Amino acid sequence: MGKTKPKAKEICAFDERLLLGDTEFLEWSATEEGKRVLAGGKGEGEEGGQRCGVEKRRCRHVGWQGLRGEDILMEESLLREQLEGIAREEKAIRYAS
């Protein structure tokens, strides 16, 4: 009978930079680390600075992928509503002219 390899542990990999707002992200992306990471290099997070390296089943960030997806959908919905409101205002202004 052959020995089976132990299953590789899945790491959480939550990155605190995912929580940055638009302005904060723009500021971070202008830093040396931001430029390096966005160009495909490694930053602090890849070396253990900002990324969670705890095993998924033991981590406090359980389900962060789904929650982040929901955040993005909510923001998209709010922006779409704002755009529709602006379009209505534009239509009203054009009609009044």
pLDDT in tens, 36-95: 888 886 655 454 457 788 888 888 887 877 887 888 899 999 999 999 999 999 999 999
3-state SS class at 1:
coil
**How would residue 7 be classed by pLDDT, with cut points 50, 70 and 90?**
confident
* Cα separation, 21 vs 24, whole angstroms: 5
Q: What integer pLDDT is reported at residue 45 of this predicted model?
A: 47
**Long-range contacts, stretch 45-49, CB < 8 angstroms, 24+ apart:** 45/15, 45/16, 45/17
Q: What integer pLDDT is reported at residue 42 of this predicted model?
A: 63
